[in-house]
Structure 1
Amino acid sequence: MRVAIFDFDGTLYEKETFKLLMNHLKEHPIYRSNYNRFYRAIVPPYIANKLKLYPTSKMKELSMQLYLKAFEGLSTSEMDAYFEELKEKMQQHFNQEILSRLKKHQSENIHILLVSGAYTQFLNRVTTGISFDHIIGTDIPYKENRVDTQTRIIHVNGTQKSKNIIEALDGKQIDWENSYAYGDSYSDLPVLNLVGNPIAVKPEDKLRSVAKDRGWEII
């Protein structure tokens, strides 16, 4: 079995998810009152990260943990409704060339995975209408069907992505050499290195350099 693995931010979606999520919370008619608490909590680690005193991976994980505090106690269906509000706006900025590649791989009977650090529930809502065999993201903790902010999230990023991919495909015979992976960031390298056909999508400088050195396709 061949697979095609797609990153989300900067690859399928041409912009940054978390910026959109922040603005959505800030302007939301129901939940915007919780924005200031989130902002005050995130500024100190954000500044420390810019000063290279706090790792980017931990910064991303903390941001997603703090963001959920705005929705403490909400049900699964309420979170679905919140994320659903973003679908139309986000799909306007899906990369059409990447969507074409995705559909081409589907026509070739290739197993399609979407792998992202974004919330899994969010990914399921905003990609409605696009068929994936598997979506791997950061799970939102729930307790008795309510958002549980006391449980630490496990952020899917870097090597965690490739680990989750291997786990999701456990028991299947994968033809890695003839499989595909699409990513835009240097942090996507662990995933890109899994396959024989890695594709760098509008890559950041560090990934572009690697892609050029290794003769990878660049979109």
Structure 2
Amino acid sequence: MSVNNVQHHQPYLAIFDLDETLIAADSASLWAAFLVEQQLARPNLLTEEQEMMVAYAKGDMDMHTYMQATLEPLKGKDKASIATLVEQFIEQKIKPALYQDGLERIQWHKKRGDTVVIASATSEHLVKPIANMLGVDDAIAIELEMLNNIYTGNTKGILSYQQGKVTRMKAWIADSETHYRGCYGYSDSVNDLPLLNAVDKPFAVNPDPTLAMHAQMKDWTIMDWRHDNNILR
């Protein structure tokens, strides 16, 4: 087989951010509100979470502090009971927030034979079930510590946030048995500048002002995805 034919059969890798990229919301913020609705978290968690998200939008949030606060409601809960709650959460909060354009872009990649991965700075207990619902190949998210299938409220490993997302993605690629022809990357956030700088084909999706400026300066493609409340209902 010729080198050209070998390259032709190598897929591309498509990396999608989740929050405000594939969904018109932040899944961690929706989850915090959902837990308060279910009376499983203290109401003032929402105020604290939103204050920290202001720093996130500027690209200077302390992710360890954020995770410590938002994982508090999971502490001492077993994996199975949280998974049941997450199923309910996805039906009620995530599916109505999906971008149709995002779903179509995922399908575009899958029809080409590309590998599709969601890489998110949200916890794996949310990201992985959402990724399964979307039918993508894998998900990279903030890993959570458990003891005997009980959440400790702590994270583990490298947080998939900012440069950490690139580190985790490179480790994932290194562990893969597939050789990729190139890499697409999609995100809305200035926090993903390291990721978008690392891929061959960066796309700014509904970018925040800082990312929009970078995208214009670097001549990246800017995508405008609109939200439809009737998706998957």
TM-score bracket relative to the smaller structure? 0.7 to 0.9
> Contact between 2:76 and 2:152, CA under 8 Å: does it hold in 1?
yes
CA separation of 1:105/1:145 partners in 2, compared to 1, >3 Å: closer, same or farther? same
Deviation at 1:37, TM superposition (A): 7.1
Unaligned runs of 5+ in 2: 1-10, 224-233
Question: Partner letter of residue 102 of structure 2?
Answer: I
CA separation of 1:169/1:122 partners in 2, compared to 1, >3 Å: closer, same or farther? same
- Over residues 64-118 of structure 1, what are the superposed CA-to-partner deviations in whole Å (9 max), with x where a residue is unaligned? 2222221221111111112112112211111111111110101111111100011
Corresponding residue to 1:98 among 72, 89, 102:
102
> Contact between 1:65 and 1:149, CA under 8 Å: does it hold in 2?
yes
CA separation of 1:169/1:48 partners in 2, compared to 1, >3 Å: closer, same or farther? closer
> Contact between 1:86 and 1:126, CA under 8 Å: does it hold in 2?
no
CA separation of 1:184/1:83 partners in 2, compared to 1, >3 Å: closer, same or farther? same
Corresponding residue to 1:173 among 148, 166, 179:
179
Corresponding residue to 2:217 among 183, 194, 213:
213
CA separation of 1:173/1:144 partners in 2, compared to 1, >3 Å: closer, same or farther? same
Q: Provide runs of 4+ in structure 1 moved above 4 Å.
A: 36-40, 45-50, 150-154
Corresponding residue to 1:21 among 15, 25, 31:
31
TM-score (norm 2): 0.80
Instruction: Give the aligned CA root-mean-square deviation in angstroms.
Output: 2.6
CA separation of 1:107/1:56 partners in 2, compared to 1, >3 Å: closer, same or farther? same
> What pairs up with 1:1-219 in 2 under 5 angstroms?
1-29=11-39, 31=40, 34-36=41-43, 38=45, 42=48, 46=52, 56-58=60-62, 60-88=63-91, 89-149=93-153, 154-170=158-174, 172-176=178-182, 179-219=183-223
Identity %: 23
* Counterparts of 1:3 and 1:207, CA distance in 2: 22
Question: Partner letter of residue 181 of structure 2?
Answer: D
Deviation at 1:36, TM superposition (A): 4.6
CA separation of 1:104/1:139 partners in 2, compared to 1, >3 Å: closer, same or farther? same
Deviation at 1:155, TM superposition (A): 2.9
The alignment covers a number of residue pairs equal to: 208
Secondary structure at 1:12 match in 2:
coil
> Contact between 1:73 and 1:148, CA under 8 Å: does it hold in 2?
yes
Deviation at 1:21, TM superposition (A): 1.7
* Counterparts of 1:167 and 1:47, CA distance in 2: 28
Deviation at 1:151, TM superposition (A): 5.9
> Contact between 2:204 and 2:222, CA under 8 Å: does it hold in 1?
yes
